[in-house]
Amino acid sequence: MNFEQARFKMVEQQIRPWKVLDPQVLAILGSVPRELFTPEQYQFMAYVDEEIPLPGGHVMLPPRIDARLMHDLELQGTESVLEIGTGSGYRTALLARRAREVLSLEIDAAQADAARRHLQAAGIHNARVIQGDGAKSPVQGGPFDAIVLGGSVSEVPQSLLDQLKVGGRLIAIVGEDPVMQATLFVRTGERQFTSTALWDTSVPALQNFARPARFSF
């Protein structure tokens, strides 16, 4: 399989139509080898617009989702970034190419080990993956310039927002299936935050984050 050609088609046919037009972001997406982060038996799907199974019941999100999450953070290359939910490490690699450093938490120890190997194989040296539960905080190393959640949550806990620097940004996919929205939060003051809904989608939930009680009759 010609991965380079598949990567080019991914950028042109999946990423650009999803309003990712920043030349630097497109260059990163066109250069990071997604196949290195994809389980061997699914490498033929590395550039397909679908979720890809990972061990332990996890998934790689479609590339357009990871692309928009990175794009909409508007990183400038100087930021310290916290990622919750490393997965395969592909999104981690994208963030690392756009930021000064990335600290990524992965709840599954085996998946964290795999992500470290993938990042090393891809030549990413400014990202650190640690095994940990992102729902428990605070995370050592903060406060952060930016935070990215790699799965959905019913709501973003205040404890995570509090780990942003003033002026910092957090992007998360918020809601309950089938209604979820990528939402950008900005810390505008010590106790002030704004939120902006960006686009609709639906992705698997992060583990251990609180979910609303469901009423039964």
pLDDT in tens, 156-213: 999 999 999 999 999 999 999 888 999 999 999 999 999 999 999 999 999 988 776 5
Supply the pLDDT for residue 136: 85
Phi, psi angles (nearest 5°) of residue 107:
-70, -30
Is there a domain that residue 69 lies in? yes
Residue 16 is part of which domain span?
A: 3-201
* CB 172, CB 91: distance < 8 Å: no
Query: What is the distance between the alpha carbons of residues 35 and 42, in angstroms, rounded to a whole number?
Result: 9
Does residue 65 fall inside a structural domain? Answer: yes
Q: What is the tally of helices (H) and strands (E) in the chain?
A: 6, 9
CA dihedral 27, 29, 35, 39 (to 10 degrees): 160
Is residue 217 a part of any domain in this protein?
no
Query: In this structure, is residue 208 part of a structural domain?
Result: no
Does the residue 90 lie in any domain?
yes
67-90 pLDDT tens trace: 999 999 999 999 999 999 999 999
Is residue 79 situated within a structural domain? yes
Q: What's the predicted TM-score (pTM) here?
A: 0.94
pLDDT digits (tens, 9 = 90+) for 47-72: 999 999 999 889 999 999 999 999 99
Lowest mean pLDDT among 53-57, 129-133, 148-152, 206-210: 206-210
Has residue 206 been placed in a domain? no
- Residue corresponding to tokens 């990871």: 66
CATH number of the domain where residue 96 is located? 3.40.50.150
Q: How many domains does the chain have?
A: 1
Specify if 211 maps to a domain. no
Question: pLDDT-based confidence at 217, cuts 50/70/90?
Answer: very low
